[in-house]
């Protein structure tokens, strides 16, 4: 089924000038960019995005990393977009990511892991609404 998912190109990948390479992987896999913006997250915005991880030991490092430089936030649309994006990204820990995945090729640690992608339809809906107003999304077709 057609789905939307939220993708973030994280500060490490932006710093490596890999925005285009990463977006090309989404497009080649049949996912369309229907919304896109670059922004430097405030601490408050990053903490709100990752609120479900607030009690985890890695929360402060995660927020510190995500506010360390600009990110590119996109809505990807396509058939089975949530799982497809997660396949393209590979495992959260780049040491465990399969060869040829975005994290295997661009990530250097579990925090500096190049990309984020929504993990369920419920989180996709929340995450898309967190960054985009309805009129900032441009559906295809």
Q: Give the torsion sign (CA, 130, 134, 137, 139).
A: positive
The strands making up 115-117's β-sheet, listed across from edge to edge, are 32-39, 71-79, 2-9, 115-117
| 53: number of Cβ within 10 Å | 13
Answer yes or no: is 85 a known binding residue.
no
Q: Please select the residue that binds ligand CMP; options are 111, 125, 126, 130, rule is CB under 6 A.
A: 111
In angstroms, what is the minimal distance from the CB of 66 to ligand CMP? 8
The reply on whether position 58 binds ligand CMP by CB under 6 A is: yes
Query: What is the Cα–Cα distance from 86 to 83, expressed in whole angstroms?
Result: 5
Residues 88/29, Cβ–Cβ less than 8 Å: yes
The reply on whether position 4 binds ligand CMP by CB under 6 A is: no
Binding mask 8-37 for ligand CMP (x = CB under 6 A): ------------------------------
The reply on whether position 110 binds ligand CMP by CB under 6 A is: yes
Annotated binding site for ATP: 10, 58, 86, 92, 103, 113
């Amino acid at each position: 089924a057609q789905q939307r998912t939220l993708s973030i190109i994280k500060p490490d990948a932006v710093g490596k000038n890999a925005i285009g390479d990463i977006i090309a992987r989404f497009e080649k896999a049949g996912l369309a960019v229907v919304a896109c913006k670059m922004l430097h997250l405030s601490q408050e915005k990053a903490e709100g995005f990752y609120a479900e991880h607030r009690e985890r030991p890695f929360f402060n490092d995660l927020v510190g990393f995500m506010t360390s430089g600009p990110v590119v936030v996109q809505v990807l649309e396509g058939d089975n977009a949530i799982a497809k994006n997660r396949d393209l990204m590979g495992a959260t820990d780049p040491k465990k990511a399969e060869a040829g995945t975005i994290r295997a090729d661009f990530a250097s640690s579990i925090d500096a892991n190049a990309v984020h992608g929504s993990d369920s339809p419920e989180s996709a809906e929340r995450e898309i609404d967190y960054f985009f107003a309805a009129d900032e999304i441009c559906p295809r077709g």
